[in-house]
């Protein structure tokens, strides 16, 4: 080894040794939603646990509300190493070349959270994370938000009510097809721009779980919301792969444990957060909240189910089948346990 190489090696060791001792492993965690959402609160919980469990060797800096980056930019920032951790919604992985994540966007695919969690925590989740490996990204966990509701300035009861509506969507081709199947015009837009776009009439409406709707004050600019639960919005927590693999093993183990606990916390609060947000939307009285009737729901399903077939080749028929099998299994188990009671 040349002297210069040895010197650089010693220097690098010295710097990293110093950095660890001084608690200077910094994880910049960027996200686009408000702090008081399921994702925002879980990011805070992860920070607390990560700093505790590493004895202060790691510092987690959280940047909420698109403070650092908007949707697409944040993924690029993670890949380049400008930030270390994100939790984008799974509807945003397509532009990175991981279209299979759009499985979670398929309308009326997941009947309940139990099915979602089994799919995420099983082989499908593993397969999806394996897709990220070649993109310089490591998947750590799946976090919930919840089922999405439709909003706009006019009532949306039947499919015909969507005719010609300009609807903001996330960057997912499945969501584009979903809106088109309803007769609406989809428009991809960063989350941070939605409030203003709704206010100025650039778009007429959007879809989101109620926690996002309320914390972005969309109820101020949307007169109607339909509780349709037609699709799901959840997150994949991801890290820069080189950063993650470069961490000392004890630190990585502690962070893995912190993520596990933060994930349990997140999944526990997500539904409650959405319920609370709905109560606040109703109390604010700026948005009329409508429940779909069973017949209307069937009409929506009829219009939207063909989207599954349309995207089978992109997402993978095996992944879709796997969700359907899980749904059947869960339904069987639920029926059996209801019988016992």
In whole angstroms, what is the distance from residue 27 CA to residue 109 CA? Answer: 35
Does residue number 307 form part of the binding site for ligand LMR (CB under 6 A)? no
In whole angstroms, what is the distance from residue 260 CA to residue 301 CA? Answer: 35
**In the structure encoding, which two tokens stand for residue 315, read together?**
């997402």
Site for ligand LMR (CB under 6 A): which residue of 25, 27, 32, 115? 32
Between CA 260 and CA 272, with CA 266 as vertex, the angle to 5 degrees is 155
Does residue number 215 form part of the binding site for ligand LMR (CB under 6 A)? no
Does residue number 191 form part of the binding site for ligand LMR (CB under 6 A)? yes
Place of tokens 């994100």: 86
Strands 232-240 and 137-147 turn out to be: antiparallel
Q: Is the CB of 89 or the CB of 326 nearer to ligand LMR?
A: 89
Beta bridge partners of 7: none
| Residue 324 DSSP label | H
Binders in 84-103 for ligand LMR, by CB under 6 A: 89
Strands 205-208 and 166-169 turn out to be: parallel
Rounded to a whole number of angstroms, the minimum distance from the CB of residue 318 to ligand LMR is 26
Q: Is the CB of 58 or the CB of 150 nearer to ligand LMR?
A: 150
Site string for ligand LMR, 155-184 (x = CB under 6 A): ---------------x--------------
Binders in 232-261 for ligand LMR, by CB under 6 A: 233
Q: Is the CB of 25 or the CB of 265 nearer to ligand LMR?
A: 265
Residues contacting residue 46 through CB under 8 Å, at least 6 positions apart: 29, 60, 258, 259, 262
Q: Is the CB of 162 or the CB of 191 nearer to ligand LMR?
A: 191
Q: How many residues bind ligand LMR (CB under 6 A)?
A: 9
Does residue number 152 form part of the binding site for ligand LMR (CB under 6 A)? no
Does residue number 208 form part of the binding site for ligand LMR (CB under 6 A)? yes
Q: Is the CB of 213 or the CB of 244 nearer to ligand LMR?
A: 213
In whole angstroms, what is the distance from residue 274 CA to residue 214 CA? Answer: 9
Does residue number 219 form part of the binding site for ligand LMR (CB under 6 A)? no
Site for ligand LMR (CB under 6 A): which residue of 54, 172, 212, 226? 212
Does residue number 145 form part of the binding site for ligand LMR (CB under 6 A)? yes
Place of tokens 């939603």: 33
Contact 315, 118 (CB under 8 A): no
Q: Is the CB of 104 or the CB of 162 nearer to ligand LMR?
A: 104
Q: Is 108 left (phi over 0), alpha (psi -120 to 50) or beta?
A: left
Residues in contact with ligand LMR by CB under 6 A are: 32-33, 89, 145, 170, 191, 208, 212, 233
């Amino acid at each position: 080894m040349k002297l210069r190489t040895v010197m650089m090696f010693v220097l690098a060791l010295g710097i990293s040794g110093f950095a660890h001792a001084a608690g200077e492993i910094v994880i910049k965690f960027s996200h686009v939603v408000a702090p008081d959402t399921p994702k925002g609160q879980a990011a805070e919980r992860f920070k607390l646990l990560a700093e505790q469990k590493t004895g202060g060797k790691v510092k987690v800096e959280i940047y909420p509300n698109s403070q650092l980056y908007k949707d697409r930019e944040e993924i690029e920032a993670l890949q380049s190493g400008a930030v270390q951790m994100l939790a984008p919604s799974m509807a945003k992985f397509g532009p990175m070349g991981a279209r299979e994540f759009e499985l979670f966007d398929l309308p009326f695919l997941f009947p309940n959270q139990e099915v979602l969690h089994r799919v995420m925590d099983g082989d499908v989740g593993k397969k999806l994370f394996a897709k990220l490996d070649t993109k310089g990204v490591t998947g750590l966990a799946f976090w919930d938000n919840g089922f999405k509701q439709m909003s706009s300035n006019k009532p949306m009861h039947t499919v015909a009510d969507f005719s010609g509506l300009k609807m903001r969507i996330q960057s997912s081709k499945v969501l584009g097809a979903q809106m088109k199947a309803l007769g609406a015009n989809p428009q991809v837009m960063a989350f941070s721009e939605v409030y203003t776009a709704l206010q100025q009439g650039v778009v007429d409406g959007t879809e989101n779980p109620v926690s996002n709707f309320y914390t972005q004050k969309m109820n101020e600019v949307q007169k109607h919301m339909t509780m349709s639960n037609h699709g799901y919005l959840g997150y994949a927590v991801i890290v820069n792969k080189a950063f993650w693999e470069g961490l000392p093993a004890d630190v990585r183990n502690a962070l893995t444990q912190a993520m596990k606990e933060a994930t349990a916390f997140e999944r526990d609060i997500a539904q409650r957060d959405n319920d609370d947000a709905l109560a606040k939307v109703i109390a604010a009285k700026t948005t009329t909240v409508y429940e779909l009737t069973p017949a209307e729901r069937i009409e929506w399903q009829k219009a939207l189910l063909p989207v599954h077939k349309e995207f089978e080749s992109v997402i993978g028929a095996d992944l879709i089948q796997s969700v359907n099998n899980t749904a059947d299994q869960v339904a069987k188990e639920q029926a059996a346990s209801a019988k016992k009671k």
